[in-house]
């Protein structure tokens, strides 16, 4: 066989193997990631916050439903749902079934674009462009109200353009939560809930589905010490070692998933890069979940396992 023919054949086989792995194995290889975040006052006992994001649930995904239900075994102090729960018009009952044991815990949620609009047929390669989830042309509205009422009936806080005080953890620490509706489809109205952190709060936490810089800047300028987001899928198709290729928003790809630091203007020119160690000491923490799902029309993950995250909040170093 000619060497070029052999090389092309080898590459084709590797491509088919990679796609098969991404569609069949990694997409369903759910992981729980655990992280410590030093944002509590000195002497406070740890608080365990479970983040579930980007479920993109189709009702037949029983394995995913069972996996999410088992997360309640972690006994979290608080549950955060950062949106994009739907991947099917009739998924609301299945989503509520997946969250049922977690709804017995205190929690809060914001919505993502995929909670409002059913997925439409798209070119999977378009995931690697910034236009992927834009504009719901020909997309059908989802029964998001069913989900909201299910979450609210269980006592979870609706943080779509809202601010509230809650108590977290064994010390019943007063925590201020501020959230926005999805900036990816311009539903964020941070100005309506803007303002400095309450003097009664031991901690202020921001929540947004998509981590757009305008939201991160505004929340951290107002004093949020931790901002929690989803949406990026960690790039969904990543390159080993290099990481995410895209974030599907204006966040840099180094912050595509996991814990990083953010401060007002952090995304501007001349600012220290994420993970460089040169970030300001008082910078807020940003956690971006890679989420648990995929678009049904780009149903694969590569070098970016689907995940939920247990964030253990601990005291700041003195
Ligand atoms: Fe998503």
Q: Which residue has the higher pLDDT, 236 or 203?
A: 203
Give the integer Cα–Cα distance in Å for 247 and 129: 9
Domain 3-315 has CATH 3.60.21: yes
Mean pLDDT of 167-178: 97
Strand partners, 288: 229, 258
Q: Which of 151, 23, 161, 48 is nearest to 98 (CA)?
A: 151
Q: What is the CA(231)–ligand 1 centre distance, in A?
A: 5
Q: What is the reported pLDDT for 139? A: 80
Q: Which of 26-40, 136-150, 266-280, 289-303 has the lowest mean pLDDT?
A: 289-303
Q: What is the CA(153)–ligand 1 centre distance, in A?
A: 24
Q: What is the CA(239)–ligand 1 centre distance, in A?
A: 19
Q: What is the CA(233)–ligand 1 centre distance, in A?
A: 6
Query: What 3-state DSSP class applies to 227?
Result: strand
pLDDT by residue (tens digit) across 204-221?
999 999 999 999 999 999
Q: What is the CA(25)–ligand 1 centre distance, in A?
A: 19
Give the integer Cα–Cα distance in Å for 120 and 284: 36
Q: What is the CA(296)–ligand 1 centre distance, in A?
A: 11
pTM: 0.91
Calculate what percentage of the chain has a pLDDT beyond 90: 75
Q: What is the CA(62)–ligand 1 centre distance, in A?
A: 19
Q: What is the CA(176)–ligand 1 centre distance, in A?
A: 25
Give the integer Cα–Cα distance in Å for 204 and 227: 9
Q: What is the CA(144)–ligand 1 centre distance, in A?
A: 15
Residue 130 banded pLDDT, cuts 50, 70, 90: low
The residue ranges of every structural domain in the chain are: 3-315
pLDDT by residue (tens digit) across 45-100?
999 999 999 999 999 999 999 999 999 999 999 999 999 999 999 999 999 999 99
CB-proximal residues (5 Å) to ion ligand 1: 54, 84
């Amino acid at each position: 066989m000619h060497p070029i023919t052999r090389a092309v054949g080898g590459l084709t086989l590797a491509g088919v193997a990679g796609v098969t792995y991404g569609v069949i194995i990694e997409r369903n290889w759910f992981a729980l990631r655990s992280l410590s975040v030093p944002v509590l006052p000195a002497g406070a006992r740890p608080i365990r916050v479970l983040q579930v994001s980007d479920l993109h649930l189709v009702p037949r995904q029983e394995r995913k439903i069972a996996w999410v239900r088992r997360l309640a075994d972690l006994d979290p102090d608080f549950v955060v749902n950062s949106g994009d729960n739907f991947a099917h018009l009739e998924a609301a009952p299945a989503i509520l079934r997946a969250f049922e044991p977690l709804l017995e815990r205190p929690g809060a949620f914001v919505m993502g674009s995929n909670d409002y609009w059913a997925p439409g047929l798209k070119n999977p390669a378009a995931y690697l462009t910034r236009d992927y989830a834009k504009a719901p042309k020909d997309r059908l509205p989802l029964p998001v109200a069913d989900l909201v009422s299910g979450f609210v009936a269980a006592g979870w806080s609706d943080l779509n353009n809202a601010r509230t005080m809650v108590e977290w953890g064994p010390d019943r620490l007063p925590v201020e939560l501020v959230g926005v509706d999805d900036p990816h489809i311009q539903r964020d109205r941070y100005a309506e809930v803007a303002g400095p952190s309450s003097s009664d709060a031991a901690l202020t936490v921001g929540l947004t589905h998509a981590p757009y810089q305008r939201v991160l800047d505004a929340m951290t300028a107002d004093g949020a010490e931790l901002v929690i987001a989803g949406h990026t899928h960690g790039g969904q198709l990543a390159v080993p070692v290099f990481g995410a290729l895209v974030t599907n928003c204006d966040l840099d790809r180094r912050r595509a998933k996991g814990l990083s630091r953010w401060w007002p203007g952090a995304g501007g020119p001349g600012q220290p890069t994420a993970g460089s160690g040169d970030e300001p000491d008082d910078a807020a923490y940003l956690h971006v979940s890679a989420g648990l799902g995929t678009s049904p029309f780009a149903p694969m993950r590569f070098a970016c396992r689907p995940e939920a995250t247990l964030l253990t909040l601990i005291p700041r170093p003195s």
